[in-house]
Amino acid sequence: MTIEELEQIAESVRLENAKFDYEVNVCMDLACASQGAEKLRDALVKAVEASGKTVLVRRTGCMGPCSSGPLVRVDPEETLYHHVNADHADAIVASLGGDPVPTLQCDLNDHFDKQVRVVLENAGHIDPEKIDDYISCEGYKALLTALTEMTPNGVVHRITESGLRGRGGGGYPTGLKWGTVAKAGGDLKYVVCNGDEGDPGAFMDRSVMEGDPHRVIEGMAIAAYAVGASKGFIYVRAEYPVAVARLTTALREARRRGLLGSNICGTTFSFDVEIRLGAGAFVCGEETALLASIEGRRGTPRPRPPYPAVSGLWGKPTLINNVETYANIAPIVRNGGKWFANMGSERSKGTKVFALTGKITNTGLVEVPMGIKLREIIEVIGGGVPDGHTFKAVQTGGPSGGCIPAEMLDIGVSYDALLKVGSIMGSGGMIVMDDTSCMVNVAKFFIEFCMTESCGKCIPCRAGTAQMHTLLSRICDGSGTMDDLELLEDLCSTVKEASLCGLGQTAPNPVLSTLKYFRNEYIEHIAHKRCPAGVCNIKAAVEVLA
Amino acid sequence: MSDAVEVKTLIIDEQEVSARRGQTILDVARENDINIPTLCHLEGLSDVGACRLCLVEIKGSNKLLPACVATVFEGMEVSTNTERLQKHRRMILEMLFAERNHICAVCVSNGHCELQTMGQEQGLTHIRLPYRNPSLNVDASHERFTVDHNRCILCTRCVRACAEIEGAHVWDVMGRGINSIVITDLHEEWGSSTCTRCGKCVQVCPTGALFDKSKVGTDHPKNPDFLPYLNLMREAQ
């Protein structure tokens, strides 16, 4: 495979597509598929056959606004239809060449205008099971450019220059990590992709793996070239069967095209990737636990240093990055580090994909430049809180993130700004809560999650989260005391500072942030035996004899 | 000075000490009679950094490091007993005492228990946390030994001693979080497991969780000090 051959494939796809007058793209991602996108596609194919028009019906990955699904986009006009079902197929096909179907047309201009798509540039535009579709969108061009025109150091330099930081949550500078692994000695090195996305309400990585799997593989191959690795692992949770299937297909296609395997592109570089399935443990998203799991051991974290960059899989230097980080690599190599560094804020470059969920009008995936105000994401892109309720808080960063109140919505989204207000960037979950949410109950929910997902290795996380859960349950059922509150704060401090891994160290964040911004709700539960949001089932307040 | 220099000098609790490159803070501290509390660490076994009692403060860093695995560097300034550390240590011990059913008065290890001693050393006078009082099993199926999960603190010394020293790997951990327990083989009764009856796990257990049946009702001190000696002799061979 050479760049010229790549161009030829892209050209033949373009010629093939040019035979069609229209392209009807059907989103087949989980949310749309669960509402009948499969039937809809079949109906569209039938309607096209019956009409005699030359139309390409294509299944694609996630288009973004999941709450409007099933979604259909008609190209070249780029007309977006929402809430489409199989009965609408005839109307849509009949409208081709004329005016769009008014009843189905959706106006999400505000939703899309503020977004910048880098990671999701192909999502909704290509068939994830066709490698040629990906190649027609400049796919694998970055890999071949790197292999034939750049030195490994040059690649590391470009990533460093881009200012990309790890998208898995930690925000460690990607270029620095690559440089460390590249400098580590030894013939055998590994590249690992962390696809063990486990935060409740987060599905960015799933969408990328399902909607554009080759992007992840290309990013890993470039990384392997840069650090001198010859073997890669994608660790995907078994709860993502579609992602596993798409990645398996993608790997097979890439091997068939000679983009993985021995002597890729006629160079001395060889690289292949294996898929490993997670067995449902959240903690396996922690890098050292993930590596232990790949090795076939119990998925528990170990103290660092040594970092995986020095001693990772089977003691060898290992580069481990998140799905979204790898998905950013190809565009950076193609367009240059400066192009990427021009987007975003001073210390957080590029874009970030967020999964908007909870009490918000447009739930789904959004990709925004770093530094954008939280308010813009929630009120403009997300369309605000529905049903006349008022916004109360947004929780970022999954179960270990903090709850950010309305007064702070004008902060720009970046690793440092979120940390400053007591939350974290995390992998990109964003859960919006309105006035019907009880913040004590929310804190209890997340602590319960961390308690059940704790691996049990270190005492602060194992016993501390369980104790915090007991105290929060007491406060929620009205039997809490002010002493409990003080004890809760002491527990938070020890669990945060003394836990072994990131899971424990960040587990108290929801409690600490709600104690900071919504302390009055805790006091209401304890002192007045009442839940302001009416969520907690407080037993009839017992009048204590004076 | 470069990193290649074999001897490092550092300061632990305002005392100037020297160390070999690659030595852990705990090693160096104990060589110099500076006490850092530990529970999961045991000389002769690999370290897991799980109990978090040996956390120390390093000047210039806000992060606490486990002394049993953190290695020294030139010019490092370590504090092993600050107010912040004492507070965390007491809280961790409270968590342990409240986690399962530790009732010293009726325990075979009363007076010889590392958890009990640790509580006394750290000035633990009472437990503020609610006791969890879990209902846990006692497995007395083995002809010589008993495991009482009510007294287990999940330090995994037994797991490591069995795998690393005896080479049998009968013990392991099952479940996760607060529901973790140590098991023999694939959660079979100890008596019908592949146990070699060497008794090393009993000797390394810091509490009364693993005990010798023949010693019940008598003073039952444990002797884990054989491990470093055993390792030394094996290396000498």
Its domain, for residue A404, covers 351-433
Determine whether the interchain pair A498/B96 forms a contact, defined as Cβ–Cβ distance below 8 Å: no
| Smallest Cα distance from A485 to chain B, Å | 12
A452: chain B residues, CB-CB within 8 Å: 176-177
Structural domain includes residue A4: no
Q: What is the mean pLDDT of residues A328-346?
A: 96
pLDDT in tens, A205-236: 999 999 999 999 999 999 999 999 999 999 99
Phi/psi of residue A434, each to 5°?
-115, -170
A516 lies in the same domain as A468:
yes
A298: chain B residues, CB-CB within 8 Å: 172-173
Residue to mutate among B3, B54, B99, B176, with most A CBs inside 10 A, is B176
Is A545's pLDDT higher than 80? no
Structural domain includes residue A257: yes
Collect all residues with Cβ–Cβ distance below 8 Å to B166 and sequence separation of at least 6.
B196, B198, B200
Q: What is the pLDDT of residue B215?
A: 83
Is A379's pLDDT higher than 50? yes
| Smallest Cα distance from B53 to chain A, Å | 9
CB A544 within 8 A of CB A487: no
Q: What is the mean pLDDT of residues A14-31?
A: 93
> For tokens 């929402």, what's the residue?
A82
Nearest to A395 by CA among A374, A412, A416, A379: A374
Q: What is the pLDDT of residue B219?
A: 75
Q: Which of A453, A487, A498 sits opposite B88 (nearest CB)?
A: A498
Domain extents for chain B? 7-81, 107-236
CA angle (A61 as vertex; A60, A66 as ends), nearest 5: 115
Determine whether the interchain pair A458/B175 forms a contact, defined as Cβ–Cβ distance below 8 Å: no
Q: What is the mean pLDDT of residues A53-65?
A: 93
Structural domain includes residue A100: yes
Residue to mutate among A183, A311, A461, A462, with most B CBs inside 10 A, is A462
Structure tokens at A229: 């690795």
Q: What is the mean pLDDT of residues A321-339?
A: 97
A157 lies in the same domain as A284:
yes
Size of interface A-B (CB pairs under 8 A): 106
Nearest to A236 by CA among A283, A288, A275, A186: A275
Structure tokens at B230: 């055993």
Nearest CA in chain A to B53: A498
Residues of B near A (CB-CB distance < 8 A)?
Answer: 48-52, 55, 64, 66, 69-71, 84, 87-88, 91-92, 95-96, 98-99, 128-130, 132, 153-154, 172-173, 175-180
DSSP one-letter code for B66:
E
Q: What is the pLDDT of residue A540?
A: 52
The CATH number for A443's domain is 1.20.1440.230
Is A544's pLDDT higher than 80? no
Phi/psi of residue B94, each to 5°?
-60, -45
For residues B194 and A425, the model is more confident at B194
- For residue A75, list its beta bridge partners: A23
A373 lies in the same domain as A443:
no
A219 lies in the same domain as A292:
yes
Q: Three-state SS across A60-79?
A: ECCCCCHHHCCCEEEECCCE
Q: Which of B48, B69, B177 sits opposite A456 (nearest CB)?
A: B177
B153: chain A residues, CB-CB within 8 Å: 459
Nearest to A196 by CA among A119, A272, A288, A297: A288
A278 lies in the same domain as A167:
yes
pTM of the predicted protein model: 0.93
B69: chain A residues, CB-CB within 8 Å: 303
The CATH number for A36's domain is 3.40.30.10
Q: A413, A433, A453 — which closes off a domain?
A: A433
CA atoms within a 13 Å half-sphere pointing along the CA-CB vector of A169: 28
Structural domain includes residue A275: yes
Separation between Cα atoms, residue A475 and residue A469, nearest integer Å = 10
| Smallest Cα distance from B221 to chain A, Å | 25
B172: chain A residues, CB-CB within 8 Å: 298
Nearest CA in chain B to A499: B52
The CATH number for A190's domain is 3.40.50.11540
Determine whether the interchain pair B95/A463 forms a contact, defined as Cβ–Cβ distance below 8 Å: yes
Nearest to B37 by CA among B114, B104, B135, B147: B114
A369 lies in the same domain as A516:
no
Is A299's pLDDT higher than 80? yes
Structural domain includes residue A3: no
A104 lies in the same domain as A154:
no
Phi/psi of residue B43, each to 5°?
-60, 125
Separation between Cα atoms, residue A326 and residue B41, nearest integer Å = 38
Is A504's pLDDT higher than 90? yes
A500: chain B residues, CB-CB within 8 Å: 49-50, 52, 66
Here the ipTM equals 0.94
Is A541's pLDDT higher than 70? no
CATH fold, domain B7-81, is Ubiquitin-like (UB roll) (3.10.20)
The CATH number for A422's domain is 3.10.20.600
Determine whether the interchain pair A466/B66 forms a contact, defined as Cβ–Cβ distance below 8 Å: no
Q: What is the pLDDT of residue B4?
A: 59
A460: chain B residues, CB-CB within 8 Å: 52, 88, 91-92, 95
pLDDT in tens, A151-161: 999 999 999 99
pLDDT in tens, A308-320: 999 999 999 999 9
Which stretch of A96-100, A237-241, A305-309 has the lowest confidence by average pLDDT? A96-100
CA distances from B180 to A453, A473, B89, B148 (A): 11, 22, 22, 14
Determine whether the interchain pair B154/A462 forms a contact, defined as Cβ–Cβ distance below 8 Å: yes
A162 lies in the same domain as A200:
yes
* Helix pair angle (A213-227, A152-162), 10° resolution: 120
Q: What is the pLDDT of residue A201?
A: 86
Nearest to B67 by CA among B86, B83, B51: B51
pLDDT in tens, A71-100: 999 988 889 999 999 999 999 999 998 889
Structural domain includes residue A115: no
Separation between Cα atoms, residue A365 and residue A378, nearest integer Å = 12
**Interface membership of A148 toward B (CB under 8 Å):** no
**Interface membership of A76 toward B (CB under 8 Å):** no
| Smallest Cα distance from B135 to chain A, Å | 16
Structural domain includes residue A124: no
| Smallest Cα distance from A506 to chain B, Å | 13
Is A118's pLDDT higher than 80? yes
Is A414's pLDDT higher than 50? yes
A101 lies in the same domain as A142:
no
Determine whether the interchain pair B154/A466 forms a contact, defined as Cβ–Cβ distance below 8 Å: no
CB A216 within 8 A of CB A234: yes
**β-pairing verdict for A272-278 and B210-212:** unpaired
B131: chain A residues, CB-CB within 8 Å: none
> For tokens 């596993």, what's the residue?
A244
**Interface membership of A292 toward B (CB under 8 Å):** no
| Total residue count of chain B as it appears in this document | 237
**Which CATH number does the domain B107-236 belong to among 3.20.20.140, 3.20.10.10, 3.30.70.20, 3.30.420.40?**
3.30.70.20
| Smallest Cα distance from B52 to chain A, Å | 6
Determine whether the interchain pair B173/A456 forms a contact, defined as Cβ–Cβ distance below 8 Å: yes
Stretch 253-282 of chain A: residues touching chain B, C-beta under 8 Å:
281
Q: Which of A454, A463, A493 sits opposite B176 (nearest CB)?
A: A454
Ramachandran category for residue A171: left, alpha or beta (phi over 0 → left; psi -120 to 50 → alpha): left
Per-residue pLDDT of chain B (237 residues; tens, 9 = 90+): 455 568 999 999 999 999 999 999 999 999 999 999 999 999 999 999 999 999 999 999 999 999 999 999 999 999 999 999 999 999 999 999 999 999 999 999 999 999 999 999 999 999 999 999 999 999 999 999 999 999 999 999 999 999 999 999 999 999 999 999 999 999 999 999 999 999 999 999 999 999 999 887 777 788 888 898 888 888 887
| CA A527 centroid distance within chain | 40
* Helix pair angle (A519-527, A439-453), 10° resolution: 100
Nearest CA in chain B to A484: B129
Nearest CA in chain A to B128: A487
Nearest CA in chain B to A454: B177
Mean pLDDT of chain A: 94
Determine whether the interchain pair A458/B51 forms a contact, defined as Cβ–Cβ distance below 8 Å: yes
Separation between Cα atoms, residue A236 and residue A245, nearest integer Å = 11
Structural domain includes residue A120: no
* Helix pair angle (B83-99, A459-476), 10° resolution: 70
A300 lies in the same domain as A415:
no
Determine whether the interchain pair A298/B66 forms a contact, defined as Cβ–Cβ distance below 8 Å: no
A172 lies in the same domain as A264:
yes
Domain count, chain A: 4
A358 lies in the same domain as A486:
no
Determine whether the interchain pair B129/A453 forms a contact, defined as Cβ–Cβ distance below 8 Å: no
B159: chain A residues, CB-CB within 8 Å: none
Q: Which of A451, A490, A498 sits opposite B64 (nearest CB)?
A: A498
Q: Which of A302, A462, A467 sits opposite B180 (nearest CB)?
A: A462
